[in-house]
Amino acid sequence: MRAFVVTIDGPAGVGKSTVGRRVAAELGLPFLDTGLFYRVLALAAAETHTEPEAAAKLARGLEIEINTEPLAPEDSWRARLGSRELGAALWAPGNSALLAKIAAQPEVRSVLLPRQRRLGRGGVVAVGRDTGSTVFPEAACKVYLDAPVEVRMERRRSELARLGMASPHSVVRDDLEERDRRDRTRVAGPLVVPQGALVVDTTSIPAAEVVARVLQRCRALGRQPIAPGSDR
Ligand code: DC
């Protein structure tokens, strides 16, 4: 049977990870946050004072492991760089500009693409900017989540506060707007609505309802949620 792949794309702070994790848990699939690859790379580049233009070379030599367990506790590691476990540090706002520049490098994207695809081989719920358009263009179920920047800013602020990084409105807003602009206008892997995607504006819809809509679409495509207690 062909591996079942769900892709969830959308701008920063729209709730992709929250929804993606729950959908993955319900479907008994791994959860892949593709943004983690870029975040680990940006952290490594900042630490080694590597220019964005040299990030692809740096990426080739890095051993990056992503935690694909959808029910991983909030304080567990999200990615490993070699043997080093990384969590909240990956979301520190200081690296934002570098992160966006690195993600815009076509060569960086081509180094990371096969690694992302490999993690989806047996079926996956993947979230990011280009998962439906570029990483898994053959995905059975494609979703695009959207919400205005004000709504996403508030969500991102509460997320950062939960991670112990309270940030002022203006900083989070500027960061989101800048990343939106860069994500949408870059040449390689830009943020787009994939063809045939289920588009959901999450402004006034709770995450549980968005999850329910995605699962309904998956069911219509032949993938049933797992029964509680099942270990498929
Ligand atoms: O989803 P996120 O905010 O954690 O993503 C981190 C950065 O990586 C962000 O600047 C956009 C970029 N990204 C990307 O270019 N392509 C993806 N598939 C996922 C993330």
Question: Tens digits of per-residue pLDDT, 82-105?
Answer: 999 999 899 887 788 899 899 999
Contact 95, 46 (CB under 8 A): yes
pLDDT tens digits for range 23-78: 999 999 999 999 999 999 999 999 999 999 999 999 999 999 999 999 999 889 99
Q: Is the CB of 183 under 6 A from ligand 1?
A: yes
How many angstroms separate the alpha carbon of residue 35 from the centre of ligand 1? 4
DSSP 134: I
The C-alpha torsion from 6 through 58 and 156 to 198, rounded to 10°, is: -20
pTM, full prediction: 0.93
CA atoms within 13 A on the CB side of 172: 21
Architecture of domain 5-220: 3-Layer(aba) Sandwich (3.40)
Q: Where are the beta strands (DSSP E) in 57-212?
A: 64-66, 79-81, 84-86, 124-128, 141-146, 198-201
CA of 208 to the centre of ligand 1 (A): 23
Domain ranges of the chain: 5-220
Of 8, 38, 119, 124, the one to substitute when testing ligand 1's pocket (max ligand atoms within 8 A of C-beta) is 38
Tens digits of per-residue pLDDT, 116-154?
999 999 999 999 999 999 999 999 999 999 999 999 999
